[in-house]
Amino acid sequence: MYPNDPRDPRTRAYEQQPQHDPYGQDQYGQAQYGKDSYAGDRYAADNYYDDRAYDDRRRAADPYPAPAAERSRSRAPKAPRRGPRVNAGLFAGGVLATAVVTALAAWLAAWIIRVISQRITETGKFGVWNPVAQDEYWFAVVGVLCAILAGALWYVLHMTTPSPDSFFAGIVGLLIAAAVLLPLLLSQEWTSAIGTAVMHLVIGLPIFFLIRAMGAKSLEY
């Protein structure tokens, strides 16, 4: 044994030699200031300044940034509207076609009733018949107006109710029944009551079936 052997841990020379500490300190508790000791610090500092530059650019682009919750909501995709959408142009064309069909049906029915009543009146056996109190063109105009109103009703029901066809059938069906029964119950002349009831039925049936069909054909899924 040599008393000054630096390799022997029991000698004073060994205690005076600084030992390497893998954690950056020597045996005296002092930090190792090597050339690579600042590598981690320089990397952190570079990242810090890069983040600062990115934040500055982002604030310059948007001086009034929205809160995080609002940004997340704005970036989220909007949920599509559920259910089919009505093609307004196609539906309007279908309503106009229904109005034309209703007007022609009303005009033809009124003309047929008037011709039959005139033939019966000419015979003189059954008295004077006047079942149609109005002109044929008046019923045609009424048919057009009723068809347009029914189309508007179906469109409003589709935009505001979950089952537009069911509500439309109920409303229009009740109106047709009332239009047919009221002349029969309130009119004093039975010929006029029958003629008016028939005309109301002729106007109501095309509207009841065609408007619903036009609405179903105008839906886009």
pLDDT digits (tens, 9 = 90+) for 92-135: 999 999 999 999 999 999 998 888 887 877 776 655 566 666 77
Q: Phi, psi (5° rounding) for residue 197?
A: -65, -40
Q: What are the pLDDT digits (tens) for 36-63?
A: 444 445 545 455 455 565 566 666 655 5
Q: Which long-range contacts (CB under 8 A, 24 or more apart) does 125-132 make?
A: 129/191, 130/189, 130/191, 130/192, 131/191, 131/192, 131/194, 131/195, 131/196, 131/198, 132/195, 132/196, 132/199
16-20, 56-60, 79-83, 158-162: range with lowest mean pLDDT: 16-20
Which of the 8 DSSP states describes residue 25? B
Strand partners, 31: 25
Q: What is the pLDDT of residue 100?
A: 96
Q: What is the pLDDT of residue 3?
A: 59
Q: What is the pLDDT of residue 38?
A: 47
199 pLDDT higher than 50: yes
Q: Phi, psi (5° rounding) for residue 53?
A: -65, -40
3-class state of residue 192 by DSSP: helix
If you average pLDDT over every residue of the chain, what do you get? Answer: 76
- Chain centroid offset of residue 158 CA: 11
Alpha-carbon gap, residue 41 to 141, rounded angstroms? 90
Check residues 169 and 68 and name the one with the higher pLDDT.
169
Alpha-carbon gap, residue 72 to 66, rounded angstroms? 10
Q: What are the pLDDT digits (tens) for 69-93?
A: 555 555 555 555 566 888 989 999 9
